Amino acid sequence: MKKNREDLVSKLIDRDYIKTKPVEDAMKKVPREEFMTPETKNYAYLDRPIPLENGQTISAPHMVAIICEILALEKGMKVLEIGTGFGYNAAVVAEIIGPEGHVYTIERIENLKNISEQNLKRTGYSKNVTVIFGDGTKGYKEESPYDRIYATASAPKIPEPLKEQLKIGGRLLSPIGRDTSVQELLCLNRVSENEYKSYNLGGVVFVPMIGEHGWLE
């Protein structure tokens, strides 16, 4: 599996998805196969999304790389993730920000929350990743503000609580779209208390973000 992982990372570098050494090192280290169902482990290093449980998916590796590169993660950052899935993306982010940083990740499906906690503990990331069961569209005010916030599910617009919980100078990344089939990846930088600058980074496809400030179930 390790050679397959390294081969995939090499391809992502060649295709310019991975641009920096921290992202390269993290994706070489985190074992994606440990964050998948037993039936899909053999597909861990294909560059495509793979079904998990409860209608959710694990993002394609190139999308994980894109998210990490755009977020410009640094050691010691406090990060909020919306949509834990089986925990792979959170593990990659945790590897980049190091033990002095922390990822708070929210999962609305209790079964996935429990599985992701087991996966993160088994792979050694539970010390700097906290999994919260709840409505991700509300964020997690208890630990705000965050240096970085990102969503692995799409909403009709960026939930206001997430904008409010972003630190001034922080960056937020989320798929946004008027329907649940096609979205655009939006990057939001918080300039001041009431000013944000947004950038459209192109078309993507993610599962819907269900919740009070997202899509209705």
Q: What is the pLDDT of residues 75-104, one digit of tens each?
A: 999 999 999 999 999 999 999 999 999 999
Give the per-residue pLDDT at 54: 80
Other Cβ atoms less than 10 A from the Cβ of 217: the count is 7
Instruction: Flag whether pLDDT at 196 surpasses 90.
Output: yes
Least confident of 16-30, 33-47, 111-125, 169-183: 169-183
Residue from 122, 139, 54, 111 nearest 88 by CA: 122
Return the pLDDT at 52: 85
Share of the chain above pLDDT 70, in %: 100
Alpha-carbon span 205 to 198, nearest angstrom? 19
Instruction: Assess whether pLDDT exceeds 90 at residue 28.
Output: yes
Query: Which one, of 53, 65, 71, 87, lies nearest residue 170 by Cα?
Result: 71
Task: Kindly report the average pLDDT of the chain as a whole number.
Answer: 94
Domains of the chain in sequence order: 63-204 (3.40.50.150)
Indicate if 10 belongs to the active site.
no
Burial (CB count <10 Å: 0-12, 13-18, 19+), residue 41: middle
Task: Give the pLDDT score at 180.
Answer: 66
Whether the per-residue pLDDT at 178 is higher than 80: the answer is no
Residue 5 has pLDDT above 90, yes or no: yes
What is the predicted pLDDT for the residue at 30?
97
In this structure, the chain runs to a length of 217
State how far the Cα of 46 lies from the Cα of 5, in Å rounded to an integer. 9
Given a contact cutoff of 8 angstroms between Cβ atoms, the answer to whether 153 and 177 are in contact is: no
Tell me the pTM. Answer: 0.95
pLDDT of residue 25: 98
pLDDT, position 181: 72
pLDDT digits (tens, 9 = 90+) for 106-165: 999 999 999 999 999 999 999 999 999 999 999 999 999 999 999 998 999 999 999 999
- Give dist(CA 155, CA 71) in Å, integer: 19
Q: Torsions phi, psi of 120, nearest 5?
A: -70, -35
Average pLDDT, integer, range 63-81: 97
pLDDT given at position 206: 85
CB atoms within 10 A of CB 113: 19
Mean pLDDT across 27-47:
95
Q: Is the pLDDT of residue 53 over 90?
A: no
Q: Tell me how crowded residue 83 is: count the other CB atoms within 10 A of its CB.
A: 24
Within 10 angstroms of residue 180's Cβ, the number of other Cβ atoms is: 17
Indicate which residue of 59, 116, 126, 154 is catalytic.
59
